[in-house]
């Protein structure tokens, strides 16, 4: 008897498991990226060590501004548009700068400036147009007024320089600032440190203010005084970063800024060296 040969059932072929598809992070818009960066700088600014009152309202307002920015980076706008939301964050920053009795270090100033630059991209203007920079902070009503330490007056105010010499001083100081900025820009690209980014952005803003302009002796002298004041602030920040981290590159940048500061102060010895 012939056996009936049955074809064995064919096993189902199981395809080899390939690599799992990569989970792509949701793409964010340029505006959302700017909001996220602004939030990072504002959080860092809220955490700087400041001479505040017990309520530390400036810190709280900066954190609120950061939360507005972070929410906007995820598409949750606090107001009707991205521009209006940016202005909400700006309002908190300006309020932080007006809290009576609180203070603002150069480090915090630099971080706020960096955040303001990102918000300015969203608004479509310049940070100086909407961020308070020269508005005096009200005195703390709960404290008796005390004589504040007088600001250091640049020596250039008490020296007699010709118009040509003032222009030469200005150009030389501006050149040192430019060299310091060039080094700082390249260094910041690899530093991955928000404090160094902030120092770079602050120096950039001071550099744009210090760009030499034509004018009579009085106008030039006022510009030199402003340049000296700005250089004093940025030098203090860069030198502190260099010292705290033992960073030789930042020390070199600080040396360039110190040279610019001395020239802006009317030090002809630096100029003639």
CATH number of the domain to which 265 belongs: 1.20.120
- What per-residue confidence (pLDDT) applies to 86? 94
Grouping H, G, I as helix, E, B as strand and the rest as coil, residue 46 is helix
Point out the residues of the chain with pLDDT beneath 50: 1-14, 144-151, 271, 273
> In the listed set 113, 129, 145, which residue is the last one of a domain according to the structure?
129
- What per-residue confidence (pLDDT) applies to 10? 41
Does residue 111 form part of some domain?
yes
Same domain, 167 and 117: no
Same domain, 102 and 168: no
Does residue 59 form part of some domain?
yes
Same domain, 103 and 207: no
Same domain, 189 and 248: yes
For 240, list phi and psi in degrees, rounded to 5.
-65, -40
What is the rounded CA–CA span in Å between residue 76 and residue 68?
9
Domain that holds residue 182: 155-272
- What per-residue confidence (pLDDT) applies to 7? 35
Same domain, 259 and 169: yes
Does residue 16 form part of some domain?
no
- What per-residue confidence (pLDDT) applies to 42? 96
Same domain, 39 and 80: yes
- What per-residue confidence (pLDDT) applies to 191? 81
Among 261, 195, 158, 213, smallest CA distance to 44 is for 195
Count of beta carbons in the 10 Å neighbourhood of residue 264: 30
Does residue 137 form part of some domain?
no
Spatial neighbors of 243 by CB under 8 A, at least 6 apart, are 251
Report residue 15 CA to chain centroid gap: 54
Q: Which pTM was predicted?
A: 0.67
Does residue 136 form part of some domain?
no
Does residue 24 form part of some domain?
no
- What per-residue confidence (pLDDT) applies to 180? 92
Among 58, 264, 46, 64, smallest CA distance to 152 is for 264
pLDDT tens string 110-136: 999 999 999 999 999 888 888 887 777
> In the listed set 74, 95, 129, which residue is the last one of a domain according to the structure?
129
Same domain, 107 and 47: yes
Torsion of CA 137, 142, 146, 148, to 10 degrees: -20
Among 179, 174, 204, smallest CA distance to 264 is for 174
CA distances from 194 to 201, 233, 251 (A): 10, 18, 18
> In the listed set 87, 113, 129, which residue is the last one of a domain according to the structure?
129
Does residue 20 form part of some domain?
no
- H or E segment and range at residue 159: none
Task: Report how many domains make up the chain.
Answer: 2
Same domain, 51 and 105: yes
Same domain, 118 and 190: no
- What per-residue confidence (pLDDT) applies to 69? 95
- What per-residue confidence (pLDDT) applies to 141? 56
Same domain, 111 and 183: no
- What per-residue confidence (pLDDT) applies to 48? 92
CA distances from 209 to 39, 171, 193, 225, 264 (A): 26, 13, 25, 12, 14
Spatial neighbors of 150 by CB under 8 A, at least 6 apart, are none
Does residue 240 form part of some domain?
yes
Count of beta carbons in the 10 Å neighbourhood of residue 148: 7
Count of beta carbons in the 10 Å neighbourhood of residue 154: 21
């Amino acid at each position: 008897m012939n056996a009936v040969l049955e074809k064995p059932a064919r096993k189902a072929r199981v395809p080899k498991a390939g690599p799992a598809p990569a989970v792509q992070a949701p793409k964010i818009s340029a505006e959302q990226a700017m909001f996220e960066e602004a939030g990072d700088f504002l959080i860092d600014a809220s955490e700087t060590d400041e001479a505040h009152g017990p309520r530390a309202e400036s810190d709280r307002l900066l954190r609120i501004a950061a939360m507005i920015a972070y929410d906007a980076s995820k598409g949750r706008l606090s107001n009707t548009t991205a521009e209006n939301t940016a202005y909400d964050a700006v309002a908190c920053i300006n309020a932080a700068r007006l809290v009576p009795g609180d203070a603002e270090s150069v480090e915090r100033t630099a971080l706020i400036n960096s955040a303001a630059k990102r918000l300015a991209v969203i608004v479509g203007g310049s940070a100086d147009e909407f961020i308070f920079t020269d508005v005096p902070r009200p005195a703390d009503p709960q404290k008796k007024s005390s004589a504040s330490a007088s600001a250091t007056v640049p020596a250039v105010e008490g020296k007699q320089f010709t118009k040509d010499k003032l222009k030469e001083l200005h150009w030389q100081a501006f050149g040192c600032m430019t060299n310091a900025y060039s080094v700082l820009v390249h260094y910041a690209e690899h530093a991955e440190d928000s404090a160094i980014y902030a120092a770079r952005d602050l120096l950039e803003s001071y550099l744009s203010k210090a760009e030499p302009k034509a004018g009579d002796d009085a106008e030039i002298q006022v510009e030199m005084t402003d340049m000296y004041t700005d250089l004093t602030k940025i030098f203090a920040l860069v030198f502190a970063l260099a010292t705290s981290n033992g960073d030789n590159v930042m020390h070199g940048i600080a040396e360039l800024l110190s040279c610019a500061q001395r020239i802006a102060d009317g030090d002809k010895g630096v100029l003639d060296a």
